[in-house]
Amino acid sequence: MLTMQSKNLFCDPIGSGLFSAAALVLGAALLASCASVPEIHYDAFDVKPDALEIFDSFDKVRARRLTLCQSAVLEFKGQASSAIGLCSYDSGLGYIALSLISPTGVKLLEFVELNRKRRFVFVMPELAPGEEAAERIADDARRIYFHPEGKPTYYGITARYVSLVFDEGEFRTELRFGIDPGTGETVLREKRILLGDRLESLVFYLDYSDYDGLLYPGRIRYENFSHGYVLSLKNLEVVKGVELPKE
């Protein structure tokens, strides 16, 4: 979600990916399956990076407001479902608004969250039983778009990536920053969320592009190991700024 350069962030997006993720997850299901942890290639740094400098750059962009329109494909138990999502978010305010639409234009899901208070505006009854699936979708959206608050408890540097680790209660989040092959910039490429020693979910941020001065991943791949599904998001449009609801 973020880059090391001046303007990179997806930590506070408000996009369809969120909705897509939510709805797709909602519609797919509730069983778990185990999967091997995939890896992405990291090019070696020409010059050893400074972890504190990377965190400072990350800290400046992780609360940016964004609106995203994304296509989404959910893979679960050998089957794939697709949708279009519109998502607006401001991670600094803890705000997300997500709307998910089927390829035929039917609304599947819509919810708003502000400071962890969620309101489901609409959930198609056929999508999934009960509120559990809807809540899971909202949780997945937060994992994809929101970054940890505060300062990391651990900094690590390898020849190929910089690791920032945040302790958040029972969960631990690791952000890995490395060189984006397309832009050559140091950006956020991977997020790992762990419960104890168990990897709960993994997010890859891929194919960064410049959107009006903002470096943002063109594709996001989210893997939920607890429930055995994969969500692939692709940007159709990225807009800076967010219209917050009038309460």
Q: Contact, 157 vs 177, CB < 8 A? A: no
181-209 pLDDT, tens digit each? 999 999 999 999 999 889 999 999 999 98
Predicted confidence (pLDDT) per residue in 21-62, tens digit: 333 333 332 223 334 566 788 999 999 899 989 988 888 777
pLDDT interval class at 128 (50, 70, 90) = low
User: By the 8 A CB rule, do 232 and 140 touch?
Assistant: no
Residues 62-80, mean pLDDT to the nearest whole number? 86
Tallying the residues shown for the chain, one arrives at 247
Please indicate, yes or no, whether the overall pTM of this predicted structure exceeds 0.85: no
Handedness of CA 68, 107, 117, 74 (dihedral sign): negative
Cβ of 195: how many Cβ atoms within 10 Å? Answer: 13
Q: What's the order of all strands across the beta sheet hosting 162-168?
A: 117-123, 107-114, 95-101, 79-90, 65-76, 229-240, 214-224, 198-211, 186-195, 171-179, 162-168, 154-157
Assign 172 a pLDDT band (cuts: 50, 70, 90).
very high
Say if residues 219 and 207 touch (Cβ distance below 8 Å).
yes
31-35, 51-55, 174-178, 232-236 — which is least confidently predicted?
A: 31-35
Taking a C-beta distance cutoff of 8 angstroms, is the pair 29, 224 a contact?
A: no
**pLDDT of 102 higher than 50:** yes
Percentage, residues of the chain above pLDDT 70? 79
pLDDT at 216 over 70: yes
Q: pLDDT: is 244 or 233 the higher one?
A: 233
16-237 placed in CATH 2.40.10: no
Q: Residue 167 has what pLDDT?
A: 93
